[in-house]
Amino acid sequence: MKFDRHRRLRSSKTMRNMVTETRITKEDLIYPIFVVERDNVKEEIPSMPGIYQLSLNILEEELKEAYDLGIRAIMFFGVPNEKDATGSGAYDHNGIIQEATRKAKAMYDDLLIVADTCLCEYTDHGHCGVINHETKDVDNDQSLTYLVKTAISQVEAGADIIAPSNMMDGFVTEIRQGLDDAGYENVPIMSYGIKYASSFFGPFRDAAESTPQFGDRKTYQMDPANRREAMRELESDLREGADMMIVKPALSFLDIIRDVRNHTNVPVVAYNVSGEYSMTKAAALQGWIDEEAVVMEQMISMKRAGADLIVTYFAKDICKYLDQQ
């Protein structure tokens, strides 16, 4: 018979493992944690089963569990007690993220802290920058000043990587210049430069208490219908000094991850967002899917599409799965 016998390389688990093209490792993972300024809080987020808002004074337990599982990169999101028009809590020397960073670095000096650099969790209006009261929209250039201050404050507290998620034009070049001027030339920027105005962010906004109080974020986040626009954002951010590129969300944008991988040699990061997490968790809790199998298949799909790293709320679960293999 004259045909190709592809099944030869699928004949046993050992054979399949030997020729597998894509693997997930603990080093691939970045684990997001929500830290609140109130004391003695450990509250499960209703729309994100298994994920909690945690107070600073009980953060050590979560950090120890994550570290002991093998996680070496954390991304903090802060929920302050007070919010204002300019999001001043974001760049407060003693802000919630700054304090969480200091605590984490004091516990484990080899734990990488990725600082989400945005204002939405700290503004009383819930937008990612300051508002121009004439246009009723986010003032791009004025917002950059506060974002630079935020990035410098985060690095001063011990952050290893700055990850700006605000989607203002010029945020990479302004933050890069600000960090360089402050003496932080060696701190890399992991740009959220390809961030879509997605419906999959809903549970995160519950967790971070950052839902916009008016309007939406479509004037600064990208239209999910657009593919070529992602390449324009990529080109701008690389030219302005980005060291890594995030694509957010991940599962509905695997084609974008592949495009980015094909057009650059910098590390590509997939953000497995809250809505993606919540849908999978909900189906698993109903017994409709095999959670471990589905989660690992999702992670493989992101890596196969071209991601080098994955930000995921499943990070602890994945470490446990890997330990059992």
Q: So which residues are the catalytic ones? A: 195, 248
Q: Under 8 Å CB-to-CB from 142, ≥6 apart: which residues?
A: 129, 130, 132
Q: Read off the amino acid at residue 203.
A: P
Q: How many angstroms separate the Cα of 193 from the Cα of each of 19, 132, 202, 267, 269? A: 34, 22, 20, 13, 11
The angle formed by the CA atoms of residues 229, 311 and 62, to the nearest 5 degrees, is 155
CB 310 within 8 A of CB 30: yes
Extract the tokens encoding 159: 């952050």
How far is the C-alpha of 150 from the C-alpha of 130, rounded, in Å?
A: 13
Q: Under 8 Å CB-to-CB from 50, ≥6 apart: which residues?
A: 44, 281, 313, 317
How far is the C-alpha of 323 from the C-alpha of 68, rounded, in Å?
A: 12
Q: Say which residue the tokens 């046993």 belong to.
A: 12
Extract the tokens encoding 28: 């691939």
Nearest residue to 223 via CA among 249, 197, 255: 197
CB 53 within 8 A of CB 34: yes
The separation between the first and the last C-alpha atoms of the chain, rounded to the nearest angstrom, is 38
- DSSP SS3 for 132: strand
How far is the C-alpha of 61 from the C-alpha of 88, rounded, in Å?
A: 28
At residue 208, φ and ψ (nearest 5 deg) are -95, 0
